[in-house]
Amino acid sequence: MHHYNRPKTNLTPYLSQLEHFTYPSTFLSPSHKQPSQKSFKTKVTLAKASRQNRPIPPWFRMKTDNKIQYNKNRRHWRRTKLGI
């Protein structure tokens, strides 16, 4: 299928923005690994994040008359990073 009638788009304004773009794979680089000996502040932050990362209890669902059904701030360890 040929697209002869497709309008030509001018990409030069966007190319100047792409020159400074870096791919967001910083969490894969070895410099961003968690050290085995953590500071106390890092440990407290990780502990709080693990406490927050749980489903809501069933009694809370009944208390709110099923209006709040799940924890919208639930975080997966591989998909969403904490940025510590």
Residues 6+ apart with CB under 8 A from 71: 54, 55, 56
* pLDDT exceeds 70 at position 5: no
Query: Count of domains in the chain?
Result: 1
Distance, in Å, from the CA atom of 60 to the CA atom of 79, rounded to the nearest integer, reads 27
Residue 71 covered by a domain: yes
Tokens of 9: 């788009």
Residue 56 covered by a domain: yes
What are the tens digits of pLDDT across the range 20-75? 555 554 444 555 688 999 999 999 999 999 999 999 999 999 999 999 999 999 99
CATH number of residue 66's parent domain: 1.10.1620.10
Residue 19 covered by a domain: no
Residue 64 covered by a domain: yes
pLDDT at 18: 55
Distance, in Å, from the CA atom of 83 to the CA atom of 51, rounded to the nearest integer, reads 17
